[in-house]
Amino acid sequence: MRYGDLKYLSLGEELDKNQYVTCQYYLETDLPIVNAANAIAAEQSTGTWTKASTLSDDIFERLAARVTEIEDLGKKTVDGQILNVARTTVNYPLEEFSIEVGHIPQILSVIAGNLYGLLELKNVRLLSCLFPDSVIRKFPGPNFGINGLRKVLDRPDRPLVGTIVKPKIGLDPKQTAEYVYKCGIGGLTNSKDDETLVDQSFNRIDDRVPAIADAIDRVRDETGHRIVHALNVSTYVKDIVEIAERAVENGASQIMVDVLTSGYSALQMLAEADLGVPLHVHRTFHGAFTRSPYHGMAMEVVSLLSRLSGGDGLHIGTFGVGKMHGDPEEDMASRNILFNDIGLKTVMPVCSGGMHPGLVEKLVSISGMDVQIQAGGGVAGHPDGVLGGARAMSQAVDAVYKGIYLDSYAEDHIELKKALDKWGYVPGSDHV
């Protein structure tokens, strides 16, 4: 039961990357590293804890995963136990996957499946995965992407700036619509339901959608400004497209899904339904498996799977600036996955969680201008209320776009000044 049969090792072998899904793992083990890497490849393809009499040479040659690289990272001591630490690259043959159409659930069962339960692996983390073009083409990808979102909002180059309706739950449709209206008047481009609001008795979707649509129309009629609101439709997969389609018919300007609780298939079904509005992807629940740097799965993988499945915008963290746990380097890796050239439209990175106007300069100095900044409490908690908070966030983004430091811009922008006085100011990396 110690995976001593090392036939899955192909160290140094140059494989045709077009014929494999390539994954990199971090692992900690009390086994020799080669045995542990072999255990991953075996368990996730053709092997098991002992030699199976039914495993023919033909099955092995066609479907066995191959370990092509092991990087020894030394040793660490955990609870008095000395563990071997490494990174390893495992390649899975395409025939192992159901790829006649894009199929995230079965892919995840292979690349992030039983390996987490192996006693031989004290910790294991899926760091990254690389799909060949033949697999990527099976998926819908974003319908709008960054450029499409910018076109909808008539905002060609400034950061998008948005809010999350607060409190998370409790407001009725009329109150929610009034919140969105004030945010639009205050200059925000985006608003959204929070991840826990869907169709509760106090705020039914069928009532919320037309009320918000009317508020957005009022903003447009009064100011010419464009704002969209992401409506959360996270629910049973069998119902999600119908609910989203009805919402769009009633005036929804953007659809939101909690991808990790609803599933990648729910997101993919919404993308393939081609609803005519952008899809906003929330990552709630991700911390259960992304937070540890030693175990679980990196957010970079979630970003890639969400892009394949059709998200137009995705929460990636705040580069260590906001309230949520996050490693700036990992957040940047997630951002880069949304931008790199894989033949699909790029995805708007959304930075949310403890954001307020005083953090905008620092955030954009890291993220660049292609970013959507979301502030919930940083809008609703402003001394002048939601309208003042929306104006302060908009002013902060305008200042950064113009290359003016927030403390200077606040001298003649009272809402921004009040926000900085209340929550403080974290200068950008180039602030003198």
Which tokens in the block code for residue 420?
């900085």
Residue 339's Cβ-count burial label (10 Å; 0-12, 13-18, 19+) is middle
Query: 230: which strand partners?
Result: 192, 254
Query: 93: which strand partners?
Result: 20
CA distance from start to end of the chain: 60
Rounded to whole angstroms, how far apart are CA atoms 123 and 120?
9
What is the CB neighbour count within 10 angstroms for residue 130? Answer: 15
| Buried/exposed 221-236: b ≥16 CB within 10 Å, e otherwise | eeeebbbbbbbbbbbe
Question: Chain centroid to CA 319: how far?
Answer: 13
To the nearest 5 percent, what fractions of the chain are helix, strand and coil? Answer: 45, 20, 40
Rounded to whole angstroms, how far apart are CA atoms 395 and 163?
14
Which tokens in the block code for residue 143?
């319908």
Rounded to whole angstroms, how far apart are CA atoms 420 and 360?
11
Instruction: Please provide residue 365's backbone torsions phi and psi, each rounded to the nearest 5 degrees.
Output: -65, -25
Closest by CA to 299, choosing from 270, 267, 259, is 259
Cβ contact 142:310 at 8 Å: yes
Q: Which of 192, 229, 282, 362 is catalytic?
A: 282
CA angle at residue 183 from 179 to 185, to 5 degrees? 115
Assess whether 418 carries a catalytic annotation. Answer: no
Q: Which of 166, 280, 417, 418 is catalytic?
A: 166
Q: How many residues does the chain have?
A: 432
Query: 374: which strand partners?
Result: 162, 352
| Buried/exposed 396-406: b ≥16 CB within 10 Å, e otherwise | bbbbbeeeebb
Helix (H), strand (E) counts: the chain: 18, 13
Assess whether 166 carries a catalytic annotation. Answer: yes
Tell me the pairing of strands 190-192 and 228-232: parallel
Dihedral of the alpha carbons of 59, 61, 62, 67, in degrees to the nearest 10: 120
Rounded to whole angstroms, how far apart are CA atoms 357 and 365?
14
Q: Which residues carry out catalysis?
A: 166, 282
